[in-house]
């Protein structure tokens, strides 16, 4: 399983900035956008529930996709990806988008199908930072 993760936290006088990077691009959130409390429990999170407004950050929980694949979210959610079949099969990704929730994708071989879950604002922020074809960047990219 391959994972990519990059999170930067800058502490300086003035606004707090949280940035996550993946494949290419940087997602930047200001202090207000990144200020979301951790969830009190570590219950499984079904990706379909990511379409609803986030009330807490599910760090340390399991992210469950409709086909049964599970990604273990780290305590501090940045970005991550997994391709359980090596260089073939679906690629699963997630991005923590602060108060906008978590954005997740499942991409089939050759990017024939890309499924996305997350609030409209989370999707917009991820696509703005990483491009409209975020889920198709990496080993399953079209030639």
Kindly report, residue by residue over 17-51, the tens digit of the pLDDT.
344 444 467 888 888 888 899 999 999 999 999 99
**Tens digits of residue pLDDT in 81-122:** 887 777 777 889 899 999 999 999 998 877 888 899 999 999
Residue 142 covered by a domain: no
In the prediction, which pLDDT does 132 show?
Answer: 78
Pairing outcome for strands 70-72 and 114-117 = unpaired
In a domain, 1, yes or no: no
The DSSP element (H or E) to which 16 belongs, if any, is: none
| Domain contains 2 | no
50: number of Cβ within 10 Å: 22
Whether 124 is covered by a domain: the verdict is yes
Is 141 within the bounds of a domain?
A: no
- Residue 143 included in any domain: no
Residue 11 lies in a domain: yes
Is 76 domain-assigned? yes
Q: How many domains does the chain have?
A: 1
The whole-angstrom separation of Cα 143 and Cα 55 is 39
Yes or no: say if 135 and 106 are a contact pair by the CB < 8 Å rule: yes
| pLDDT for the residue numbered 102 | 94
Residue 55: give the domain boundaries: 7-136
Long-range (24+ apart) CB contacts under 8 A made by 28-36 are 28/129, 29/97, 29/98, 29/125, 32/99, 33/98, 33/99, 33/100, 34/98, 34/99, 35/98, 35/99, 36/98, 36/99
Instruction: Specify the higher pLDDT residue, 53 or 29.
Output: 53
The rounded radius of gyration (Å) of the Cα atoms in the chain is 14
């Amino acid at each position: 399983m391959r994972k990519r993760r990059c999170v930067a936290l800058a502490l300086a006088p003035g606004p707090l900035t949280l940035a996550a990077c993946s494949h290419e691009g940087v997602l930047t959130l200001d202090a207000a956008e990144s200020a979301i409390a951790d969830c009190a429990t570590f219950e499984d999170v079904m990706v379909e529930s990511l379409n609803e407004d986030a009330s807490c950050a599910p760090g340390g929980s399991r992210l469950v996709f409709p086909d049964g694949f599970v990604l273990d979210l780290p305590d501090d959610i940045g970005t991550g990806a997994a391709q359980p079949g090596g260089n073939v099969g679906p690629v699963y990704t997630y991005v923590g988008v602060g108060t906008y929730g978590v954005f997740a994708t499942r991409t089939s071989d050759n990017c024939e199908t890309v499924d996305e879950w997350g609030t409209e604002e989370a999707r917009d922020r991820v696509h703005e930072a990483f491009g409209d074809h975020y889920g198709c960047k990496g080993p399953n990219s079209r030639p």
